[in-house]
Amino acid sequence: MFKDPIVEEVRAARHRHASKFHNDLDAIVADLREKEKHLDRPVVSLAPKVPVRKAS
């Protein structure tokens, strides 16, 4: 199977970051939100898309 080096690098970075917080999702999200506050560019937040049911 082909291994994409960019995907592997991103996964490794994600693993290192998650390990700092013992894989606690709440702590990871809190850290990322704190880092967003210090960015020099705006963070875009879009409204969630509502799924549309197709008529049968």
Q: Residue ranges of the domains in the chain?
A: 5-37
Write the CB contacts of 3 (distance below 8 Å, at least 6 apart in sequence): none
pLDDT of the chain along its 56 residues, tens only?
Answer: 899 999 999 999 999 999 999 999 999 999 999 999 999 998 888 999 999 988 87
Q: How many CA atoms lie within 13 A of 56 on its CB side?
A: 0
Please give the Cα distance from 4 to 12 (Å, whole number): 12
| Chain Cα centroid distance, residue 2 | 24
Q: What is the pLDDT of residue 39?
A: 92
The helix or strand, by DSSP H or E, that contains position 6, with its residue range, turns out to be: helix 5-20
Q: What is the pLDDT of residue 1?
A: 85
Q: What is the pTM of this model?
A: 0.65
Would you put residue 23 in left (φ > 0), alpha (ψ -120 to 50) or beta?
Answer: left
